[in-house]
Amino acid sequence: MDRAVDWGFGLSALGWAIAGVIEGQASSLVGLTIIVINGVVGVLFLARRPASRLAPAGECAICVGSVASSVVALSVAPDPAHWPLEAELLFALAGGGAVLSLVALGGSFGVLPALRPMVQRGPYRWVRHPVYLAELTMVLACGLAARSLVAVGPVALAVVLAVVRIIIEERLLVQSQGYDAYQRQVRWRLIPGLW
C-alpha cells in the first residue's frame, strides 16, 4: 500500500512538472524552479525507501499544515512574470538549494516525519534541515514578490509551522542510531549561528 501511495504522489509531481513545461511556465525563473523541484520530488517519491516508523497522526497533520502554508505563500505572490528581479533570484537560488538538499536526501526523502536512513552529506553537513531552510527562503521570496502586508501572514505562518515541524521531526529522529552524534557534529537546525 505504501509503495502505491508513493507512486501516486511521485507520478502526480512528475505530471505537474510536465504540465508546467507544456504550459510554458519555464519561461520565468520562478516557474522553471517549480518545474525542477516538482520533477525531483516526483523521482524521489518513486525511489524512496520505506520508513521504519512514522510520527503519530496528529503530528503528521501539523506537518501537512506546514507544507500547505508554503503553497498559500506562493498563492499570494503575483504571476511570476510580475515578480521583482530580487525576489525572483532569491526564489531561484533557494530552489537550487532545495534541489541540492533533496538530491542529497535521495531515498531518505519524505514529506512527513519518519525514521529513514540518516543523511549527513551535501548541505546536511552544515545544517540539519536544509530543505526547510530553502523552503522558507522561497516563502520569503514569495512575500517579497507580493509587496503587500497580506503576505506577512502566510510567511509568518510558514515559519512557525516549519519550526514546529522540525521539533516534531527531531523528537522522532533522536530515536535513530547516531542522530545524537549528528546533532553534536551539526549544531544548527536551520540557520547557522541562530537556531
Residue 6: inside a domain: no
Q: Supply the pLDDT for residue 85.
A: 96
What's the pTM? 0.92
Whether residue 5 is contained in a domain is answered as no
Distance CA 123, CA 106 (A): 13
Structural domain total, the chain = 1
Are 137 and 49 spatial neighbours (Cβ–Cβ below 8 Å)?
no
Q: Which structural domain, as residue segments, surrounds residue 162?
A: 53-185
**pLDDT for the residue numbered 179:** 93
The vertex-151 CA angle with 149 and 156, nearest 5°, equals 105
Contact 96, 178 (CB under 8 A): no
Residue 38 lies in a domain: no
Q: Measured at the alpha carbon of residue 113, what is the angle toward residues 111 and 117, in degrees to the nearest 5? A: 95
Low-confidence ranges of the chain (pLDDT < 50): none
95 vs 43, 90, 180, 186, CA distance in Å? 16, 8, 29, 22
- The answer to whether residue 15 is domain-embedded is no
Write down the pLDDT at residue 1.
59
Residue 69 lies in a domain: yes
Q: What is the SS3 string spanning 88-156? A: HHHHHHHHHHHHHHHHHHHHHCCCCCEECCCCCCHHHHCCCCHHHHHHHHHHHHHHHHHCCHHHHHHHH
Task: Copy the grid coordinates of residue 186.
Answer: 551539526
Is 93 within the bounds of a domain? yes
Which grid coordinates are listed for 25? 511556465
**Whole-number Cα distances in Å, 138 to 10, 15, 186:** 22, 22, 23
Q: Are 91 and 138 in contact (CB under 8 A)?
A: yes
Residue 2 belongs to a domain? no
Is residue 20 in a domain?
no
pLDDT, residue 176, reads 87
